[in-house]
């Protein structure tokens, strides 16, 4: 993704989510980004709660001028009833990670603004039509809204400046299955369709996000800034941190996954990348949701995605903390 003018016009597609909260507040505090809107998607919580959390985070940041468009409630190709039946097999799902309210149990006031009437996929399409060739779409959750927009109007979606997504994994273990990352696993059909879109794409997956670990010393630094936004992130991360320490004690902290697509857009030099042909396994018995990247030197298919393989993880954390030290 080259020659992006600053401020970079972005649409954030998100399912807030503790790490989504970190990412949204980071983006809002960087003058290099012009956030044109937020579209909600199911994932870390149901669609109603994710939409509410997006609105509440914007109010926390004093940015109620940014519209929020409500997205889809279930994966591509599945009815809401089918999706609810699947969810019943995993009664708590992402709540184990992100808490009952999606934000680690940290409370924000009920938002005073409401989502706009336009559905998420239509908001994306209308905004791309308004700024052809200028918008980077930053999906932080399932790719269902993005895929729905492609199905409705592929030609307009191919006028995006690019897509920089958090999702997938190539070398690192999955976090939903042995090989699948949660956002891709949550709607593999949508993710595979997005990989066919003819725009620059960057996959910022577990290969790098699981290296960007926020330690207790980092949490204390964030707390020391004594800003409203920083204090909220400290509070909402406690449940998330406890989950990580129980399931991944060797990390000694938690990942700020969703921040990294924004870091990449500002500081691509911090990342080791490789262009590759990437598709998503949609029907594998053991591999559904796997992002299959052909990294061979003699690969026959033309690369369709830039894959992040390594990162200067401390630089990512320091950049985040420096940004939030200036927040309100």
What pairs with residue 33 in β-bridges?
8
Instruction: For residues 36 and 148, give the distance between their C-alpha atoms in angstroms, rounded to a whole number.
Output: 19
* Closest listed residue to residue 104, CA positions, set 38, 173, 19: 19
- For residue 118, what is the domain's CATH number? 3.90.245.10
Residue 291 lies in a domain: yes
Q: Is residue 89 part of a domain?
A: yes
- Provide the CB-side half-sphere exposure for 174 (13 A, CA): 19
CA 152 to chain centre: 22
Q: Is residue 1 part of a domain?
A: no
Residue 2 belongs to a domain? no
Our count of domains for the chain comes to 1
Residue pair 204/259 in contact by the 8 Å Cβ criterion: no
Does 298 fall in a domain?
yes
* Structural domain span for residue 155: 8-324
Using CB atoms within 10 A of its CB, is residue 144 exposed (0-12), middle (13-18) or buried (19+)? Answer: buried
CA–CA distances in Å: residue 305 to residues 139, 165, 320: 15, 11, 25
As a whole number of angstroms, the distance between CA 157 and CA 79 comes to 24
- Is 253 domain-assigned? yes
Mean pLDDT by 10 residues, the chain (328 residues): 88 97 98 98 94 98 98 84 64 70 94 97 98 97 97 98 98 95 95 98 98 98 97 96 93 97 98 98 95 94 98 98 96
pLDDT at 91: 47
- Predicted pLDDT at 135: 98
| 257 labelled catalytic | yes
Q: Describe the crossing of helices 120-130 and 144-152 by its angle, rounded to 10 degrees.
A: 60
Active-site annotation holder among 98, 257, 267, 313: 257
pLDDT at 10: 98
Q: CB count, 10 Å around CB of 107? A: 11
Residue 322 neighbours by CB distance under 10 Å = 9
User: Against a cut of 0.85, is the pTM above it?
Assistant: yes
CA distance 175 to 130: 37
Does the residue 3 lie in any domain? no
Is residue 159 in a domain?
yes
Per-residue three-class SS string for the chain? CCCCCCCEEEEEEECCCHHHHHHHHHHHCCCCEEEEEEEECCCCCCHHHHHHHHHHHHHHCCCCCCCEECCCCCCCCCCHHHHHHHHHCCCCCCHHHHCCCCCCCCCCCCCCCCCECCCHHHHHHHHHHHCCCCEEEEECCCCHHHHHHHHHCHHHHCCCCEEEEECCCCCCCCCCCCCECHHHHCCHHHHHHHHCCCCCEEEECHHHHCCCEECHHHHHHHHHCCCHHHHHHHHHHHHHHHHHHHHCHHHCCEECHHHHHHHHHHCHHHEEEEEEEEEECCCCCCCCCEEEEECCCCCCCCCCEEEEEEECHHHHHHHHHHHHCCCC
Farthest-apart Cα atoms in the chain, separation:
55
């Amino acid at each position: 993704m080259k020659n992006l003018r600053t401020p970079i016009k972005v649409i954030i597609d998100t399912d807030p989510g503790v790490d989504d909260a970190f990412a949204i507040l980071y983006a809002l505090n960087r003058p290099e980004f012009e956030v044109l809107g937020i579209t909600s998607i199911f994932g870390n919580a149901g669609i109603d709660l994710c939409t509410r959390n997006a609105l509440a985070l914007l109010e926390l940041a004093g940015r109620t001028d940014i519209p929020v468009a409500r997205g889809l409630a279930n994966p591509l190709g599945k009815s809401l009833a089918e999706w609810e039946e699947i969810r019943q097999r995993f009664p708590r799902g992402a709540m184990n990670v992100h808490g009952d309210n999606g934000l680690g149990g940290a409370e924000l006031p009920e938002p005073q603004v409401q989502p706009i009437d336009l559905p998420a996929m239509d908001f994306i399409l209308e905004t791309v039509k308004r700024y052809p060739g200028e918008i980077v779409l930053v999906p932080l959750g399932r790719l269902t809204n993005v895929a729905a927009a492609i199905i409705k109007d592929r030609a307009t979606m191919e006028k995006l400046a690019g897509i920089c997504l958090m999702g997938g994994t190539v070398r690192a273990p999955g976090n939903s299955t042995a090989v699948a990352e949660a956002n891709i696993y949550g709607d593999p059909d949508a993710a595979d369709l997005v990989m066919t879109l003819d725009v620059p794409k960057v996959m910022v997956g577990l290969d790098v996000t699981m290296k960007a670990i926020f330690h207790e010393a980092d949490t204390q630094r964030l707390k020391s800034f004594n800003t409203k936004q920083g204090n909220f992130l400290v509070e909402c991360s406690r449940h998330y941190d406890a989950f990580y320490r129980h399931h991944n004690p060797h990390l000694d902290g938690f990942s700020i996954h969703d921040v990294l697509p924004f870091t990449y857009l500002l500081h691509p030099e911090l990342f080791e990348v490789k262009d590759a042909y990437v598709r998503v396994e949609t029907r594998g018995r053991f591999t559904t949701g796997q992002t299959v990247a052909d990294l061979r030197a003699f690969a026959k298919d033309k690369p369709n995605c830039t894959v992040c393989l390594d990162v200067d993880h401390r630089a990512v954390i320091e950049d985040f903390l420096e940004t939030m030290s200036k927040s309100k």
